[in-house]
């Protein structure tokens, strides 16, 4: 399979840095990886290379996906939770990046602050991947797009409804959906605010590409035109242990995806969720286990997306 060259060596600070052609190329390669799991063509692409994973907080899917993806490309991993590094003792992000630049071949960063990622990106010449900040979750959202494309046969024209907190996943959706010709509605608690720069980017791109970007606080109304309902974590304290003051104002019941919500959606609407999964909290068991639920499909696809992105970044 022929690989594009434009991603080789890139530092991906957020999904908005990817063109439509690059997003499509990543999805196409991820699909190829999924369909050709026994093919050995890429087994040595990352041989002799190491991925450094700097994670501020815990992860299941993101860490497992990146580590297995790198292994399957012939490389290895160094997992560095910041609680076990000298960042925890006061070493700067910039100096940590300088050390990584001399020892690993790709930096994969899951941080609480986008500015820390930007600080590290300025100090390294190796490829970099944003593996989640409050402003972005590139690979998770690309995994969502791959799942949508598989289940609906296209991306252009799809109506996506995101329900959850206003963090990395929805910010990435705001930047990528318009570029791919998709309409996005966000159903979120009124207490939550969006990153102003990302929201401005989303509105500008929606106008440029002729798509819709809507915000609502009424889930049932939002899903009436939905082709895909994309669930997300509602409370940040459930995800990363940070309890924000706004959480006290969130009525979880208003944003829980249940059978009534699915029935209000368009015929053929599918349900996805980026995880982690808190059963009975953001969705009911009967929705999670429904045939229309593609939650576990999305989790698997996000792994293939990570593998595709690593392959394109590390391409000789």
Q: What is the pLDDT of residues 54-85, one digit of tens each?
A: 999 889 999 999 999 999 999 999 999 999 99
Q: What is the pTM of this model?
A: 0.96
Q: Do residues 278 and 153 share a domain? A: yes
Q: Do residues 245 and 169 share a domain? A: yes
Q: Do residues 259 and 171 share a domain? A: yes
Residue 86 lies in a domain: yes
- The three-state DSSP-derived secondary structure of the chain is CCCCCCCCCCEECCHHHCCHHHHHHHHHHHHHHHHCCCCCCCCCCCCCCEEEEEECCCCCHHHHHHHHHHHHCCCEEEEEEHHHCHHHHCCCHHHHHHHHHHHCCEEEEECCCHHHHHHHHCCCCCCEEECCECCECHHHHHHHHHHHHHHHCCCCCCEEEEECCCCHHHHHHHHHCCCCCCEEEEECCCCCCCCHHHHHHHHHHHHHHCCCEEEECCHHHHHCCCCEEEECCCCHHHHHCCCCHHHHHCCHHHHCECHHHHHHCCCCCEEEECCCCCECCCECHHHHCCCCECHHHHHHHHHHHHHHHHHHHCCC
Residue 4 lies in a domain: no
pLDDT in tens, 174-209: 999 999 999 999 999 999 999 999 999 999 999 999
User: What CATH number is attached to the domain comprising 189?
Assistant: 3.40.50.1370
Which structural domain range is residue 18 located in? Answer: 11-136+301-313
Per-residue pLDDT for the chain (316 aa), expressed as one digit of tens each? 778 999 999 999 999 999 999 999 999 999 999 999 999 999 999 999 999 999 998 899 999 999 999 999 999 999 999 999 999 999 999 999 999 999 999 999 999 999 999 999 999 999 999 999 999 999 999 999 999 999 999 999 999 999 999 999 999 999 999 999 999 999 999 999 999 999 999 999 999 999 999 999 999 999 999 999 999 988 877 766 667 788 888 888 999 999 999 999 999 999 999 999 989 889 999 999 998 899 999 999 999 999 999 999 999 9
């Amino acid at each position: 399979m022929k690989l594009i060259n434009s991603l080789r060596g890139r530092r991906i600070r957020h999904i908005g840095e990817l063109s439509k052609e690059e997003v499509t190329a990543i999805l196409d390669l991820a699909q190829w990886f999924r369909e050709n799991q026994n093919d050995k063509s890429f087994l040595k692409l990352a041989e002799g290379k190491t991925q450094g994973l700097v994670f501020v907080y815990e992860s299941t899917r993101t860490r497992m996906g990146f580590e297995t993806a790198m292994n399957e490309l012939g490389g290895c991993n160094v997992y560095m939770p910041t609680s076990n590094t000298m960042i925890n003792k006061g070493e700067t992000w910039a100096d940590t990046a300088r050390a990584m630049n001399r020892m690993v071949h790709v930096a994969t960063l899951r941080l609480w602050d986008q500015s820390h990622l930007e600080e590290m990106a300025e100090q390294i010449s190796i490829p970099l991947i944003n593996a989640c900040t409050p402003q972005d979750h590139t690979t998770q959202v690309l995994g969502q797009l791959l799942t949508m494309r598989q289940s609906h046969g296209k991306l252009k024209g799809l109506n996506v409804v995101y329900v959850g907190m206003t963090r990395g996943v929805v910010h990435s959706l705001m930047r990528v959906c318009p570029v791919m010709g998709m309409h996005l509605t966000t159903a979120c608690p009124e207490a939550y605010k969006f990153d102003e720069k990302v929201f401005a980017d989303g509105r500008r791109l929606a106008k440029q590409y002729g798509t819709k970007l809507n915000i609502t606080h009424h889930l049932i109304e939002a899903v009436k035109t939905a082709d895909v309902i994309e669930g997300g974590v509602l409370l940040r304290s459930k995800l990363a242990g940070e309890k924000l003051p706004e959480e006290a104002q969130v009525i979880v019941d208003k944003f829980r995806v249940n059978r009534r919500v699915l029935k209000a959606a368009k015929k053929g609407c599918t349900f996805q969720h980026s995880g982690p999964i808190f059963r009975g909290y953001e969705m009911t068991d009967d929705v999670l286990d429904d045939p229309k639920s593609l939650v576990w499909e999305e989790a698997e696809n996000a792994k293939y997306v990570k593998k595709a992105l690593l392959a394109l970044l590390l391409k000789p």
